[in-house]
Structure 1
Amino acid sequence: MTTDTVAGTSPRSRARRNVTRTLTLVPALLIVILALAGPLIAPHPLDAPVTIPYAAAGDRAVLGGDQLGRDVLSRLLHGGTALIAGAALVAVLVTLAGVLIGCFAALSPALGRAVERTADVAILLPPVLGIMLIAFAWPGGGRWAVIAAAIILGIPYAVRIVAAAAAPLASAGYVEAALARGETLHHIALRELLPNLRATVAALFGLRFVEAVYVISMAAFLQIGAQPPAADWALMIRENSAGILLSPWAVIAPSLAIAALAISVNLASSTLAPGSVRKAVTRS
């Protein structure tokens, strides 16, 4: 038995892990594709009443009607596009800011201390209060205000995670050799540190996406972000909660959609990252 076989790195073991990772990615990809293609396959127009308010599931409306008699299934298929796009934008910008600031903070002790103190103060702000303050101060409010709030509130967490992961690498021999050659901090951060933080960045992106889904959904439920008559999963829950006994799918379907999106993306990001990275990102 070879050493690779003992360590669990035989070709068969690697192939099995690759298959497992691929299968874990499938649910997230299917949900994202279905949400993005939903408006094209919706059976009814977004705002067209097709039945009586809070109608039970039937031929005219497979999942029943909402508070205005609109088709729940059609609104469900329309409601995921904006949520996924907003969460993806938040995750990209937060991860990018966290990587850039975190790498430079790991290489510069003075900057690292300043970033750490600033992040500590920002993290102390309750998320709901922060969202409300930023959203109400944003000109016009709405969905973009919530996205901006999610970005601002998410950056301190991302910076702390990346800085903690990059700190041990900053004292590595190849980084010291780059400093001795006179390389700039910009070069070292992007060429020496970042390639060794791929697992951290992948896990960070996935978890920031899930966090953004929750933040945007919570804001929509509180009617801070998306406003009627927009088709938004969280807004559907709020609008139809009064008629849950008459048309339960008007509340259950969007709730399941949000949960399925968050869980599938979380599982996908966890699969792509080593266990140590998952624990560090989750704790932060």
Structure 2
Amino acid sequence: MTAVALTARRPYHRARNLALVALAMLPLMLALVGPLVAQHTIDTPVTAPFAAPGDGALLGGDQLGRDVLSRVLHGGTLLILSALLVAAVITLAATLLGCVAVLRPALGRVVERGADVAILLPPLLGIMLIALAWPGGGRWAVIAAAIGLGVPYAVRVVAAAASPLATAGYVEAAQARGESTTYIALREILPNLRATVLTLFGLRVVEAVYIISMAGFLQIGPQPPASDWSLMVRENAPGILLNPWAVIAPSLAIALLAITVNLVTHSLAPETTAKAVTRS
């Protein structure tokens, strides 16, 4: 594809990316605004257990007769904020470690071996070990487990992307000037990894949503009577035939969050490809 054709397609890609970003904001807005517009509180029974949708509860009742819709509107705030926190910490740590590792081969070998060992640990086993060993357990234990399990893989991704840059002329020139490793990593290598870092952040958000949701389903993280989408799925699974919305609604909320973030993440790839083709 010629540079002229790529230039003509840029407005289309830009408009598409803006639309996907707006779509990704919907779950976030739902989580932030939901508690303000919920008709009922999260712990107030308003109907019979597993009642069908009706006037008092648009999506029916859960296992205790609480309004499903109100609990869904309340249940995403902590999940989304936790996923964003996990993704931000993993991306920051992996970016710093990955950039420094390619500049210091000895450190790079240590990081690589440590990442190999950590990646071999089954995610579910790692979550259970960290969460059960954490004083009091709860959501912070799951966040710590998600970060600990996510950093090794993310470091490998950043290091692989930064490795060709470590031998670039501008990096060698900076080393010849006597610049510090931190300066070279942050000023010379990191600006050329923007697309990789942004994509990594999006993927980490999706993975954090899955990990936190899985932990909630296993009741390792949030505990009843907390309003949490994954916990709602577990609590209401026995009554799915009586009121399917008690399970379907929180499941759809989790899926919508993961899908929209994933779409935004993949929308970065065409831009990166176009720039690479144009340079060549």
TM-score normalised to the size of structure 1?
0.94
Give the partner amino acid of 2:10. R
Give the partner amino acid of 2:24. A
Superposition pairs of residues 22-171 of structure 1, within 5 angstroms: 22-171=18-167
Task: Tell me which of 246, 257, 264 is aligned to 2:260.
Answer: 264
> For residue 246 of structure 1, what is the aligned residue in structure 2?
242
TM superposition shift of 1:272: 2.0
TM superposition shift of 1:100: 0.4
Unaligned runs of 5+ in 1: 278-284
What is the distance in 2 between the residues matched to 1:265 and 1:50? Answer: 34
Instruction: Say whether the 8 Å CA contact 1:200–1:273 is kept in structure 2.
Output: no
Instruction: Say whether the 8 Å CA contact 1:199–1:274 is kept in structure 2.
Output: no
Give the partner amino acid of 1:240. N
Give the partner amino acid of 2:22. V
Give the partner amino acid of 2:17. R
What is the distance in 2 between the residues matched to 1:72 and 1:9? Answer: 49
TM superposition shift of 1:8: 2.0
Superposition pairs of residues 171-190 of structure 1, within 5 angstroms: 171-190=167-186
What is the distance in 2 between the residues matched to 1:274 and 1:179? Answer: 33
What is the distance in 2 between the residues matched to 1:122 and 1:200? Answer: 22
Instruction: Say whether the 8 Å CA contact 1:39–1:77 is kept in structure 2.
Output: yes
TM superposition shift of 1:46: 1.3
- Aligned pairs, number: 273
Deviations 1:246-281 (A, max 9, x none): 11000000001101100100110111234889xxxx
What is the distance in 1 between the residues matched to 2:174 and 2:201? Answer: 28
Deviations 1:212-240 (A, max 9, x none): 00000000000000100000000000000
> For residue 282 of structure 1, what is the aligned residue in structure 2?
none
TM superposition shift of 1:201: 0.4
Instruction: Say whether the 8 Å CA contact 2:195–2:272 is kept in structure 1.
Output: no
Divergent runs of 4+, >4 A = 274-277
What is the distance in 2 between the residues matched to 1:275 and 1:137? Answer: 44
Secondary structure of 1:273's counterpart equals: helix
Deviations 1:106-150 (A, max 9, x none): 111111111111100000000000000000000000010000000
Give the partner amino acid of 1:4. A
What is the distance in 1 between the residues matched to 2:269 and 2:97? Answer: 21
Unaligned runs of 5+ in 2: 274-280
Instruction: Say whether the 8 Å CA contact 2:71–2:227 is kept in structure 1.
Output: yes
Identity %: 69
Deviations 1:60-106 (A, max 9, x none): 00000000000000000000000001000000000000000000001
Secondary structure of 1:61's counterpart equals: coil
Superposition pairs of residues 208-227 of structure 1, within 5 angstroms: 208-227=204-223
Instruction: Say whether the 8 Å CA contact 2:13–2:271 is kept in structure 1.
Output: no
Secondary structure of 2:6's counterpart equals: coil
Aligned alpha-carbon RMSD (Å): 1.4
Give the partner amino acid of 1:206. G
What is the distance in 1 between the residues matched to 2:119 and 2:49? Answer: 43
> For residue 281 of structure 1, what is the aligned residue in structure 2?
none
What is the distance in 2 between the residues matched to 1:102 and 1:53? Answer: 52
TM-score normalised to the size of structure 2?
0.95
- The 1:246–1:45 alpha-carbon spacing in structure 2 relative to 1, beyond 3 Å, is same
Deviations 1:151-210 (A, max 9, x none): 000000110000000000000000000000000000000000000000000000000000
> For residue 225 of structure 2, what is the aligned residue in structure 1?
229
TM superposition shift of 1:4: 3.4
Give the partner amino acid of 1:25. V
> For residue 197 of structure 1, what is the aligned residue in structure 2?
193
Give the partner amino acid of 2:135. P
Secondary structure of 2:7's counterpart equals: coil
